[in-house]
C-alpha cells in the first residue's frame, strides 16, 4: 500500500519545493519550539480567568512583537481587553399568581444590579412544556437580545438546576435579561418579581496584531485561533490533572504565530492582515464574539480560523478539512492556489457535528463573512474519533509536527490570492432571526 502511494505522489510537486524561503520560517522545529512553550504543565491548561492563560497571552504578544506586527486601530499594545460581568443573586423574591418565587425556582440570566418586574406584560413570555427538548429550547434563549420570561415546566426540575449554574457564568454586560421560572403554572395571570445581583467584573483579553495592507487597507483578512483551554481538572488514570490542549488549540495558535512571521517577512500584502489569538472559546466563544463586534463585517474579506491541526486528518497527511465548505467559494480558491501540490483541503466530513457554528468563525460567518475553520480533528464516534480530544492526554507527544508544518504552509500558500486582493471569496448567507 505504502509503495503504491509513494509512486503515485512522486508525480506531484511537494509543497516544500514551492519556495525555499517559506521552509526557513514555517517548519517542524519552529512548530515544536512554540508548542513546547504553549502546552506544558506550567501553562496550567490555559483556563480562562486563571493565571496560566496570562502567561500564554504574554508569550503570543512577544512573538507578535518579534514579527514587528502593528497594533489594531487605536490600540497601544497587542491586547484587546474584554470586561465581563459575573452576577451573583443576592435576593430573589416575588409571586407568580399565588406561587412564591425565590432563588430555588427562579434563575436570572442578567447583568443588572437590580430588576423589578411588575406585570406579565413587561416581558415576552416563553413556555417550556413537559414534552419540549429542554436543551434545544432553553439554551438558545440565552443569546436572545430581548427581555424574556421563560416558564419552565416542573418536569424539567433537574435540568433547571444545572441551567441555573450556567446562568451564573460571567457574560457581556447587557440591558436585557432572561428570567427563568420553574413552575407547573404555564398560563399565569399575574407576576411580581424583584432580583438583586452582586456584580463583579472579570477581565479577559484577545491577543491581536496587524500588518497593514499596501493598497487595500480597509479590506481585512483574518487569521485566528483560540489560545484558551480547559485548565486543571480531575486526575486521569495516569494521575494527570492538567488539560494541556496541545492540539486544542495551541496548534492553531502556533499556526497564527507562524503565519504572522511569514507574512511579515514577505511584506507584500495588499490587504490588511489581522492575526488574533482568541480567549474564552471553551466557555462560550466570548473572545471571538467580542472581536467580531468591534469589526465592520463588510470589511472582512475572509477569515481563516485554525482549530486542532496537530493530528492527521481521516485522509492522512497533507490534508485538512474546511467547515462550511459549501457556504462560500473560499475552499475552491484555496485549492486552486495549491494546484500542483499534493495538499488537499476537503469539505468538513462531519456535518452532523455542526462544526461551522461551534468555533470562533461562527460570529463573523453569521454576519455574512466567508469565515471558515480549518481542522484535521476527527470529530466522530469511537473507534475513529480523536482519542485525546478534551482529555488530559492532549499533549505535545501526540502531535505530528511535520504534518502541522505542511498544513500551515498550505494555508500560507493557498491564501496568496486573497491576501493580494486578486480573489475575494463569495459571502456566506447571513443568519436570519
Compute the distance between CA of residue 278 and CA of residue 206 in angstroms, rounded to an integer. Answer: 5
Q: With CB under 5 A, what is the number of residues at the site for Zn ion?
A: 1
By CB under 5 A, which span of 160-168, 175-183, 247-255, 331-339 interacts with Zn ion? Answer: 247-255
- The CB-of-308 to Zn ion minimum distance in angstroms stands at 8
Part in contact with Zn ion (CB under 5 A); list of ranges 124-132, 235-243, 245-253, 331-339: 245-253
> Measured from the CB of residue 107, what is the shortest distance to Zn ion in angstroms?
26
| Residues whose CB falls within 8 Å of the CB of residue 42, separated by 6 or more in sequence, listed in order | 52, 55
Residue ranges in 131-190 that form contacts with Zn ion under rule CB under 5 A: none
Q: Which stretch binds Zn ion (CB under 5 A): 87-95, 125-133, 246-254, 296-304?
A: 246-254
Residue number, 33 or 390, with CB nearest to Zn ion: 390
Residues 4-23 that bind Zn ion (CB under 5 A): none
DSSP summary character for residue 150:
E
CB of 234 to Zn ion, least distance (A): 17
Residue 325: half-sphere exposure toward Cβ, Cα within 13 Å:
17
CB of 327 to Zn ion, least distance (A): 22
> In the complex with Zn ion, which residue's Cβ is closer, 182 or 362?
362
Kindly list the strands in the beta sheet with 106-109, ordered across the sheet, starting from the edge strand earlier in the chain: 106-109, 178-183, 148-153, 124-128
Q: Is 390 left (phi over 0), alpha (psi -120 to 50) or beta?
A: left
Strand partners, 148: 124, 178
In the complex, the smallest distance separating the C-beta of residue 362 from Zn ion, rounded to whole angstroms, is 14
Residue nearer to Zn ion on the CB measure, 391 or 409: 391
If the CB atoms of residues 262 and 291 are measured against Zn ion, the closer one turns out to be 291
Q: Select the residue whose beta carbon is closest to Zn ion and give its number.
A: 248
Picking from 14, 61, 64, the residue whose alpha carbon sits closest to that of residue 413 is 14
Please state the closest distance from residue 390 (CB atom) to Zn ion, in A.
6
Cβ closest to Zn ion, residue 253 vs residue 328:
253
Residues paired with 204 in a beta bridge? 82
Looking at beta carbons only, is 248 or 342 nearer to Zn ion? 248
Torsion angle defined by CA atoms of residues 238, 36, 274 and 248, in that order, rounded to the nearest 10 degrees: -10
Give 151's Cβ-side CA count (13 Å radius).
Answer: 19
- Measured from the CB of residue 393, what is the shortest distance to Zn ion in angstroms? 14
Q: Give the β-pairing of 344-347 and 319-322.
A: parallel
Phi, psi of 69 (to 5 degrees): -70, 155
Q: How far is the CB of 228 from Zn ion (least distance, A)?
A: 9
The single residue among 35, 248, 395, 400 that binds Zn ion, judged by CB under 5 A, is 248
For residue 294, report the phi and psi dihedrals to the nearest 5 degrees: -85, -5
Cis peptide before 383 (omega within 30 of 0): yes
Q: Which CB, 12 or 166, lies closer to Zn ion?
A: 166
Q: Which residues pair with 151 in a beta bridge?
A: 127, 181
Contact (Cβ atoms closer than 8 angstroms) between residue 138 and residue 128: yes
Stretch that binds Zn ion, among 189-197, 242-250, 331-339, 365-373 (CB under 5 A): 242-250
Could you say whether residue 30 binds Zn ion (CB under 5 A)?
no
Q: Which residues bind Zn ion (CB under 5 A)?
A: 248
Amino acid at each position: 500500500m505504502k509503495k503504491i502511494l509513494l509512486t503515485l505522489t512522486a508525480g506531484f510537486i511537494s509543497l516544500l519545493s514551492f519556495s525555499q524561503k517559506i521552509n526557513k520560517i514555517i517548519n517542524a522545529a519552529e512548530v515544536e519550539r512554540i508548542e513546547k512553550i504553549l502546552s506544558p504543565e506550567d501553562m496550567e491548561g490555559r483556563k480562562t480567568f486563571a493565571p496560566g492563560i496570562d502567561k500564554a497571552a504574554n508569550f503570543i504578544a512577544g512573538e507578535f512583537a518579534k514579527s514587528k506586527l502593528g497594533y489594531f486601530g487605536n490600540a497601544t499594545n497587542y491586547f484587546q481587553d474584554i470586561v465581563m460581568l459575573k452576577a451573583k443573586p443576592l435576593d430573589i423574591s416575588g409571586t407568580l399568581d399565588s406561587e412564591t418565587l425565590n432563588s430555588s425556582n427562579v434563575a436570572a440570566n442578567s447583568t443588572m444590579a437590580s430588576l423589578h418586574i411588575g406585570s406579565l406584560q413587561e416581558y415576552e413570555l416563553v413556555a417550556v412544556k413537559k414534552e419540549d427538548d429542554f436543551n434545544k429550547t432553553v439554551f438558545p434563549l440565552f443569546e436572545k437580545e430581548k427581555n424574556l420570561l421563560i416558564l419552565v415546566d416542573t418536569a424539567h426540575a433537574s435540568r433547571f438546576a444545572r441551567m441555573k449554574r450556567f446562568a451564573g457564568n460571567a457574560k457581556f454586560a447587557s440591558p436585557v435579561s432572561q428570567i427563568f421560572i420553574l413552575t407547573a403554572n404555564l398560563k399565569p395571570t399575574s407576576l411580581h418579581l424583584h432580583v438583586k445581583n452582586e456584580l463583579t467584573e472579570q477581565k479577559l483579553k484577545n491577543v491581536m496584531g496587524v500588518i497593514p495592507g499596501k493598497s487595500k487597507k480597509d479590506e481585512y483578512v483574518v487569521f485566528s485561533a483560540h489560545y484558551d483551554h480547559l485548565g486543571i481538572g480531575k486526575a486521569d488514570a495516569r494521575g494527570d490533572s492538567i488539560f494541556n490542549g496541545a492540539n486544542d488549540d495551541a496548534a492553531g495558535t502556533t499556526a497564527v504565530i507562524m503565519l504572522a512571521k511569514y507574512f511579515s517577512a514577505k511584506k507584500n500584502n495588499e490587504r490588511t492582515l489581522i492575526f488574533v489569538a482568541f480567549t474564552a472559546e471553551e466557555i462560550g466563544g466570548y473572545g471571538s464574539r467580542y472581536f467580531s463586534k468591534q469589526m465592520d463585517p463588510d470589511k472582512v474579506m475572509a477569515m481563516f480560523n485554525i482549530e486542532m491541526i496537530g493530528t492527521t486528518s481521516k485522509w492522512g497527511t497533507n490534508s485538512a478539512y474546511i467547515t462550511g465548505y459549501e457556504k462560500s467559494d473560499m475552499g475552491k480558491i484555496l485549492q486552486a492556489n495549491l494546484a500542483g501540490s499534493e495538499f488537499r483541503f476537503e469539505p468538513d466530513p462531519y456535518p452532523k457535528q455542526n462544526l461551522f457554528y461551534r468555533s470562533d468563525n461562527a460570529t463573523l460567518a453569521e454576519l455574512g463573512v466567508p469565515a471558515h475553520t480549518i481542522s484535521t480533528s476527527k470529530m466522530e464516534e469511537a473507534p475513529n474519533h480523536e482519542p485525546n480530544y478534551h482529555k488530559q492526554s492532549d499533549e505535545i507527544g501526540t502531535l505530528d509536527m511535520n504534518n502541522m508544518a505542511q498544513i500551515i504552509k498550505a494555508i500560507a500558500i493557498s491564501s496568496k490570492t486573497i491576501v493580494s486582493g486578486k480573489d475575494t471569496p463569495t459571502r456566506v448567507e447571513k443568519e436570519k432571526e
